[in-house]
Amino acid sequence: MTLASAGWRKMLCELLKSEVLDYGCDGVFMDTLADLDHPALPEEMRKLELEGLSVLMKELRKRYPQTLLIPNWTIQKTLSVVSPYADAICWEDFSSLHFEDRETERWMRKNAERIGAERRKRTEPLLILTLWDAPGGMDAEHKNELFGKMRAISASFGFLPYPLTGGYQQQPVASCGL
């Protein structure tokens, strides 16, 4: 699949209705968009894919204005493309552990600032959901401590923490206050 293809974009728009909305869902989680940020992707291809993503997001918003659009991991090159049309952005692996390493912390803060700049451009709110699951085998006390730190760091940026206390198989909506 390539977002640069008008045919693929048309099919995705049609599938959103037949496979998501007609099923009774009120939105779509757009996973793997961060692949467009992968360093191995040739720049010319990235440019074409980002242009296609922009056209797709604009078309989805036009066709389905009441549908929730939630792109995943769109915090780098894809951010400015999706943010005008998204209702929320999911920042996966938003771990408090990343703030213990200076280089990773700088990267996290830099991207949080970029997200803040994009949010300020909008008249409608843009929710940022931070998603994280503790490493397997961690005792409950340590897990709770890390989730508490994650919540505090998320809140300091104005983000909505989404801790997965039961792993990625749970439905964590209640834990983030929605």
What is the pLDDT, as a whole number, of residue 49? 94
User: What burial letters (b/e) apply to 10-43, b meaning 16+ CB within 10 Å?
Assistant: eebeeebeeebbeeeeebbebeebbebbeeeeee
Tell me whether strands 88-92 and 160-163 are parallel, antiparallel or unpaired: unpaired
Q: Is residue 171's pLDDT more than 70?
A: no
pLDDT over 70 for what percent of the chain? 92
Q: Which helix H or strand E contains 162, and what residues bound it? A: strand 160-163
The mean pLDDT value for 100-129 works out to 88
- Find out whether 178 and 149 touch, Cβ atoms under 8 Å: no
Place of tokens 């206390």: 165
The vertex-98 CA angle with 102 and 135, nearest 5°, equals 145
The per-residue pLDDT for range 74-85, each reduced to its tens digit, is 778 888 899 999
pLDDT tens digits for range 150-164: 889 999 999 998 877
Burial class (CB in 10 A: 0-12, 13-18, 19+), 156: exposed
